[in-house]
Structure 1
Amino acid sequence: MTDGINKPVIYRLIFLSYKLTYRYKSTIFMIMLVLFRNFGKLNLFSKILSGFKSMSTYQTMLRRKTGSANIKSKSQTSYKYTKKRVKPKFVDVLTIEGLLINYKLEIPEYQRPYKWQQGHIASLIDDLQKNLNLPSYRLGTMVLLKENQKFSIVDGQQRIISIILILLAYLNSNNRSNHSKVSKLSKKVSSISNTFKFISDISKANIQQNYRLIEQELKKLEFQNNIIEFLLKKCEVVVVTLDDISEAFQFFDAQNARGKDLDPHDLLKAFHLREFSERDKDEISGIVTYWESLSAKSLKSFFAYYLYPTRSWIQSKSSRNFTKSEISMFKGINLDNDEIYPFAEQYIILNLESGVKFPFQLDQRIINGKRFFEMVEHYRKRFNELDLEKFDKNFDIDDNAKQILITINNYTYNNSYIRIGDIYILRVFKSLLVFYIDKFKDKELSNAIRKIFIWIYSLRLNHEKVQLASVDNYILESNLFEHLSEAHQPKEFLTFRIPMVEDEKSSKTGEISKLFKELGYMKDA
């Protein structure tokens, strides 16, 4: 003990912070900083840290806290604590053996399917083989939710399932020479594998394929038996344990927003799951099971090509690429917050109406939690059902409107070649058409189809090439989405002025030009 400071404790904190992620380095750093500040030993603090490789990280964090690159004296240093952070109940670094022995692991029903494929397994085994000589090997982080002495896997399930498959295949193999290495874990591994329940067909298929691959790898001469011992004794994971489901999803959300590139819709899923109200939490399992049954590729495309651009253009914002930086577009109001402002009262009333289908609108505020998932499904179906060739089966439109829909569909997809610019334009047409129907249903629908067609295909005829940037710029300069959002009646939307096409610059757009001439928006040559 030196002047009230327990050095071994401080050294342990520094060592632990060096091994953890930036998020927890910051937390431990602040503990040390407060301790040294209270004892007037900030200069000693600087000397202790100088021997560590992560000194630059600590200096950066210190600058953020003190506004200076130098360690100041107690009288000079000021501290500003701003953002409340999730505090893990427990953080530890464990070997795989320690994890399996000490934690009763479960996969909650709301988890995504097991999507690791044979390439991931081959890469994992290859990594193990290459690093056998290391004293320890870090496999990543797991986020666990503690519930009644059971630990649900919030993040890290893909890797741990794969590890369980490797151990099971080894235990079931004919290579018994080293079974003693895992004999103590035999029952534990079997118990965990029986606990893991998989509903998704995707999970079941990947588990079967990956298990077969592991069996094949075990039979290869180059597969060394001590890989299993290395996996159990030397491979480590950082285990973050929380006891509140909202905090668990918040931690998952924050970690993945900064780390590996999850798709934006996965980050939104995590955010809105923790926003569920208490009365809706019984529905989480069913909603997530359905959400995960959908194609990840189709969800990604739906957000990127339709939902995100539409909401962005309604708000007069650029919408070229949907990344995790733009997910705030789909974060709205939590109706269970203690402080609800008057503007949100209308949503509370609508939300409490039992037995009534919620009246979603593309330009309304997002309601967090259950309503987000319902909103996505509502518009996913709307867009999927928008078959232009069969549109007149569901809506009463005139012959000219029918011809427009058939022409633009055939022009885009049935030519001998497909131009990406034409696909961009058709997506805009569909998005605005859905927005119109969403707002006014079938009132003046034929005239609306003509208006939307002339507006967006003017861009096609006025340009030799159409790129994503030119589409985005055109909409922001002549924003029919915003005009529709502000309209209270169909006639207000239909008054939007669109200039004639004076000089056609596009090629191979004869059928489009013909329709423009028939509608009086292009002069005959």
Structure 2
Amino acid sequence: MQKLNKNLQKPTAAIFNIKKLLQCNFKIAAYQRPYKWSVKNVNDLIDDMITFQEKNAYRIGTIIIYRGKKKKIKEIVDGQQRYLTLLLIYKALKENEPSNTLLNFDVPSLNNLEFDNAISIANLKANYAHIQSRVTDFDEGLIRFFLEKCEFVQVTITDLGEAFQFFDSQNSRGKALYPHNLLKAFHLREMNHLEEPEKIKIIAHWDKTDPQFLKDAFANYFFKIRNWSTGKSASYFSKDEISVFKGVNLLDNQLYPYARSIAINAKYVGLKQQILYDFNDSQEHFPHQLDAFTVNGEWFFDFVKHKSKMVEAIKDFTNDYYNFDDHNSKAFEVINKLNTYTKSYRTGDKYCRNLFEVTLLYYIDKFGEKQLEKVIPLIFFWAYRPRIKLTAVRLESVDNHARHPNSLIRLIKESLTTSQVLIYRLKPITKIGGNSDELARLYTEYKLIQT
């Protein structure tokens, strides 16, 4: 097990009023999520200040700060949403009353913070415009209350892993972040054996990836494969379900036997060098599997990097996966139908489309591109079966179909060869819901509807 660094300072906590907090020089760390506070959040904060301005103090929240030994600038690990909003309020007040002596102090972060995330930029602009519309609510008394009586608890930590432990525990008990954000915090904490520059490089792909795409990849692909392949429901991915992506730490010197083969793979591949020097796809990489247990730390971020690329390819119907030389083949006809299907916008059809993509992703993850011309039609006719049978396709309908003991996903889980998958037999549908004639004609053509 990793030895504790006795030189690390213990976390310190102090209560700062807003004026003192704003006078600190903070940096928003590169791995932070975008600024997502809405106008409603800002409005609620201002209303709370007005409501509680007669009190001796008003506690706004906690801000967790990481400060390395060699760093003069402190990094915000948690609390950036409120902190940035407070900066916006100060900026608007200062512009409205430039001669007000209460506002006459330096705010270093105001000129030093830079944003390149489109979500952050849009929300900052919208919230600042709203704050400007409310500056007239701030009389002399409210400005003084805002600066001197509104308080933060500032926790300063010198170990990045410990900082993220605070972040993880706070957010899993308070206002929930998206589950994948909590997973990021957990797996960063599992990388205490690495120096900070290495951590930044390892999570670079994650930070460059659209947060909405990551949310979708986890909730609608990775999580569904993990659960459906074992017969569990996968309707909703919440913070209560993130344990399915927490696994083993290979630095543990008491690994169970099942994890030793993974440790051997890790040593053979040399994942650390692969991630840090960004080997291209022709290089050998760690054999992650979507239905296997998670290896913690840098391995998790490598898993997300490789599997995210697969999700992108699966969702793009112009990808090479779907290019077939034989335009008379059943596979080509299926993909062409999905590309031209006029009812694909409906919620129920989206559920079936996702089931098709999830199942195909699972198959390719396990067997590669072998027999795709035969497998794609099989997956299509199985995945869209609820759409043909039911008038209204609900999330629960698709969830039950996917995790049924005789589902195609369960068969892929149990199969050792592609031929074992291809023996799956689809029973003809005897009752038609009558809400998808375009697809029903294709089922009829291939004798999958019994009249």
The interval holding the TM-score normalised by the smaller chain is 0.7 to 0.9
**Conserved? CA contact 2:62–2:155, under 8 Å:** yes
Amino acid at match of 2:109: I
CA distance in 1, matches of 2:378, 2:359: 10
Q: 1:147: Cα distance to partner?
A: 2.5
Q: Does the CA contact (< 8 Å) of 2:11 and 2:156 recur in 1?
A: yes
| Residue 137 (str. 1) matches residue 61 (str. 2) | no
C-alpha separation between the residues in 1 aligned to 2:196 and 2:14?
30
- The Cα of 1:393 is off from its aligned counterpart by 6.9
Question: How many percent identity over aligned positions?
Answer: 35
Which residue number in structure 1 is paired with residue 12 of structure 2? 90
- C-alpha distance in 2 between matches for 1:520 and 1:397: 25
The higher radius of gyration belongs to 1
1:88/1:240 contact within 8 Å kept: no
The answer on 1:127 being equivalent to 2:48 is yes
Match of 2:391 in 1: 464
Within a 5 Å distance, the mapping from 1:178-193 to structure 2 comes to 178-179=100-101, 181-183=102-104, 186-187=105-106, 189=107, 191-193=108-110
Q: Give me the whole-angstrom Cα distance separating, in 2, the residues matched to 1:379 and 1:160.
A: 34
| 1:404 counterpart (314, 330, 334) | 334
Q: In the TM superposition, what whole-angstrom CA distance separates every residue of 1:243-301 from its partner, at most 9, and x where no partner exists? A: 32212111111111111021111111211221225347424334556534443333322
Does 1:253 pair with 2:181? no
Q: Which residue of 1 aligns with 2:246?
A: 331
Amino acid of the structure 2 residue aligned with 1:193: L
Match of 2:314 in 1: 386
Is it true that 1:167 corresponds to 2:81 in the alignment? no
Which residue does 1:426 correspond to in 2? Answer: 353
Cα distance, 1:297–1:109 mapped onto 2, change above 3 Å: closer
How far the C-alpha of 1:160 sits from its partner, in A, is 1.5
CA distance in 1, matches of 2:119, 2:392: 41
Instruction: Tell me which stretches of 4 or more aligned residues in structure 1 moved more than 6 Å.
Output: none
Unmatched 5+ stretches in structure 1: 1-86
Is the aligned partner of 1:322 residue 2:252? Answer: no
Counterpart Cα distance in 2 of 1:211 and 1:458: 50
Alignment of 1:333-352 (within 5 A): 333-352=248-267
Number of residue pairs aligned between Structure 1 and Structure 2: 425
Alignment RMSD: 2.9
**Which amino acid is 2:178 matched to?**
D
> Cα–Cα, structure 1 residues 407 and 235, in superposed 2: closer, same or farther, change >3 Å?
same
What are the Cα deviations for residues 400-452 of structure 1, in whole angstroms up to 9, with x where unaligned? 111112224433xx13x843222211111111111112222222212212222
SS of the counterpart of 2:384? helix
Q: How far is 1:467 from its partner?
A: 1.6
Contact 2:391–2:435 (Cα < 8 Å) also in 1 = no
2:423 counterpart of 1:495: yes
Higher mean alpha-carbon deviation, 331-340 vs 250-259, is at: 331-340
8 Å Cα contact 1:95-1:232 kept in structure 2: yes
Q: Helix, strand or coil: the match of 2:190?
A: coil
Residue 480 of structure 1 aligns to which amino acid in structure 2?
L
Q: Which protein has greater RCO, CA pairs closer than 8 Å, 6+ apart?
A: 2
Once residues 136 and 320 of structure 1 are traced to their aligned partners in structure 2, the CA distance between those partners, rounded to angstroms, is 44
Which secondary structure does the structure 1 equivalent of 2:266 belong to?
helix
- Given candidates 359, 373, 386, the residue that maps to 1:446 is 373
| Residues 107 and 153 in structure 1, CA contact (< 8 A), matched pair in contact too | yes
* Correspondence 1:305 to 2:220: yes
Structure 2 gap ranges (5+) = 1-8, 275-283
Quick one: distance in 1 between partners of 2:86 and 2:316?
A: 48
8 A contact 1:116–1:206 mirrored in 2 = yes
In 2, distance between residues paired with 1:393 and 1:245?
41
Residue of structure 1 aligned with 2:210, choices 274, 281, 295? 295
Give the TM-score normalised by structure 1. 0.73
CA distance in 1, matches of 2:368, 2:416: 13
- Counterpart pick for 1:114 among 16, 25, 35: 35
Q: Residue 322 of structure 2 contacts residue 332 of structure 2 at CA under 8 Å; is this kept in 1? A: no
Taking a change above 3 Å as real, the CA distance of residues 359 and 205 of structure 1, as seen in their structure-2 partners, is same
1:155 aligns with 2:78: yes
Q: Give deviations 1:11-38, integer Å, cap 9, x for gaps.
A: xxxxxxxxxxxxxxxxxxxxxxxxxxxx
User: 1:475 and 1:449 mapped to 2: Cα distance?
Assistant: 16
**Residue 388 of structure 1 contacts residue 409 of structure 1 at CA under 8 Å; is this kept in 2?**
no
Is 1:241 aligned to residue 195 of structure 2?
no
The one-character-per-residue Cα deviations of 1:170-192 (angstroms, maximum 9, x if unpaired) are: 3454441x31x244xx13x2x23
1:485 corresponds to: 413
Distance in 2, matches of 1:152 and 1:111, equals 10
The structure 2 residue matched to 1:367, chosen from 295, 300, 305, is: 295
SS in 2 for 1:390: coil
The aligned amino acid for 2:263 is I
Amino acid of the residue matched to residue 152 of structure 1? E
The residue aligned with 1:504 is 431
